[in-house]
Structure 1
Amino acid sequence: MYHLDAAFHLMRRRLQFYPDVYPQKCVVMPTIFPESLKARWDAFPGSDYSSFSWDDSILDLVRGDAVQFLPSWQNKDFIYFALFLKDQLHWVAVEADLNGWMFNIFDSSIGSISENDLISLMVDWCTIFPSVLRQSGLFENHDVILTPQLTASESQVRPFDWKLSPREFVPQTKSSGDCGCYVIEHIEHKLLQLPFDNVIDNNMKFFRQRWCVDLFYQNLC
């Protein structure tokens, strides 16, 4: 977790101070963000989430937190975060497409989580995210939130769609222990608007060494 957050923090600083490095209009969230969302959601009593309310510690991360180099999500196209699959001890990268209202999942080891378990997991996430977006107050002009029949209550905001990117687009690992580095590279490649062709096992040692140097010297460009 800590090496992911160190890389994500450097990415956020690059986005702030040298925005031309990464052409994507996006925010890279710390690993605690999805963990905090899911913990609050799971702790809510009952199954009627129409009265669910996010606390300011969550909403302030969406609205922007200068201390963590987190800009507001307003006017951004994508939100990136790492999702930890606890039962599988496995990380995957997630791209939230705010315009397309959907998640794209990039998994270096497809099959680590069963199809049924992945569907069950994403059912929650596809409801959690629209709830956060709506309550943040930053997306009042979004087409989905503006649609009258969808805004009668929190539970009626249309859920996100989701898609697991296939093996043809996400090269698969043949070893274990590199999923965190894969997630870092998947997210940075998306920030750079590059394909994943070179995010493969044979390059993991190079990527680790490169990030060690960048983090040690805090290379911003």
Structure 2
Amino acid sequence: MDNLIRKVEELVQAQEATNTSMQRLISKRGINPSKNLSSPYTPVHVRRRGKAIAKALASVRSRRSVATPSKSIETPLLDVGPKVLKKVDIFKPVHAQRKKKVETAIKSKKSGRTMYSMHEFGAADFKALTSMEIWWEDWYVDEVLLLMRMRQINFPEYYDSTDIILDLNFYNNMSKRYAELTKESTVPNAVPLKVRLAEFKWDDDMVDYCRGVRPYPGGCSWAGAKRVLTVMNINVTHFVTLEFMIEEGVVNVYDCNVPVYEESDFFCFMEPVMELWPKLLQQSGMFAHLPAKLLNESWEFNRLQNLPRNVTSKACGSWSIAFIEALLTGTTVTKPESLISDNSVGRMQWRWALGIIEKVLEP
């Protein structure tokens, strides 16, 4: 490499000598340098050749500096640290003028097809969406979760892309497959459940679900994901929020009404997730960087106890989304600092209903 540089430098020196000779010739004979003469020794060609040689020399030097860096000078990598996101006020109420859009929808006889669930949202639906006394349907929750995914894409300065927001089908698929495995293990001479779980393989659809190959509205690949957020509907009677901390191996459960289910009963609903979730991470092929323990063993789940409570006991659907709003924005959810209450969740309901009408949620 040094010999090559020396030869190129010799060419550069020769080029400079040629340039000097040409300038003398031009001055002596009165040649106009602006004319594009055909001789290879015209000033235009001389300049072009000189630039080409200089460029080649710079390239060679650059390659040498990368291939054999100086040991005496160490250039540290620039550590920019974690991305600093803009703060979101999740408790901000809807402006009175925009709130009229929702009030009009509540009184309207028209209905509109939504982006995600393909259900028709009519007056009764918008009334339920804004009430703390009416049980939410699954598609209400799914529709708001879709808007949250779209908001995450549209406002990257406010929301972390390593947070994955999933719909209710995620838990439903886990529960359904676990129930099938359990049933198959109860027939005479059947393979024990423990063995079935050890040999279990997710189908391509579920694997593609997290790879982003089979996209769903607002969905994307889980590459680089640090956390997965979703809602679980227990027995079609109670909504809770699940937070999968991928690198910690823990599932945090946010329940606005803990007394609804005893700890032993609640474990039965979490068991499908604990058994089948690690296998999905492993079989997706996207989390090879995780410790083998997190890809082969059941995770732990932490059912938080010091959370604010839904007094009406009927708005657990909207409360589950409110917890996700707080987690996405770094807002405190635990008492006594938490500001989440029936009043604040009620204000959020109007913003979500407005988002369904306008097809977007603001940060």
TM-score normalised over the length of structure 1: 0.88
Q: Is the 8 A contact 2:322 2:345 kept in 1?
A: no
User: Per the alignment, in what secondary structure is the counterpart of residue 68 of structure 1?
Assistant: coil
Matches within 5 A, 1:1-221: 1-23=138-160, 25-44=162-181, 45-46=184-185, 47=193, 48=195, 49-64=197-212, 65-86=214-235, 89-143=237-291, 145=292, 157-167=296-306, 170-196=307-333, 197-221=338-362
Q: Which has the higher contact order (CA 8 A, sep 6+)?
A: 1
Range 64-73 or range 47-56, more displaced: 64-73
**C-alpha distance in 1 between matches for 2:273 and 2:240:** 14
Calculate percent identity across the aligned residue pairs: 22
Give RMSD over aligned pairs.
1.8
Alpha-carbon distance in structure 2 between the residues aligned to 1:110 and 1:5: 22
Residue 67 of structure 1: CA displacement? 4.0
In structure 1, how many angstroms separate the alpha carbons of the residues matched to 2:360 and 2:321? 16
Give the counterpart letter for 1:163 in structure 2.
N
- More displaced, 106-115 or 189-198? 189-198
Q: Give the secondary structure class of the aligned counterpart of 2:258.
A: coil
- For structure 1, the 5+ residue unaligned runs are 152-156
List runs of 5+ in structure 2 lacking aligned partners: 1-137, 186-192
Partner secondary structure for residue 19 of structure 1: coil
User: Which letter does structure 2 place at the counterpart of 1:184?
Assistant: I
| Deviates further, 16-25 or 96-105 | 16-25
Instruction: State the one-letter code of the partner of 1:119.
Output: F
Larger radius of gyration between Structure 1 and Structure 2: 2
1:111 counterpart SS class: helix
- Once residues 128 and 73 of structure 1 are traced to their aligned partners in structure 2, the CA distance between those partners, rounded to angstroms, is 17
Deviation at 1:213, TM superposition (A): 1.2
The answer to whether the Cα contact below 8 Å between 2:352 and 2:361 also exists between their aligned partners in 1 is no
- Residue 209 (structure 1) shift: 0.9
Letter in 2 for 1:75: G
Secondary structure of 1:128's aligned partner: helix
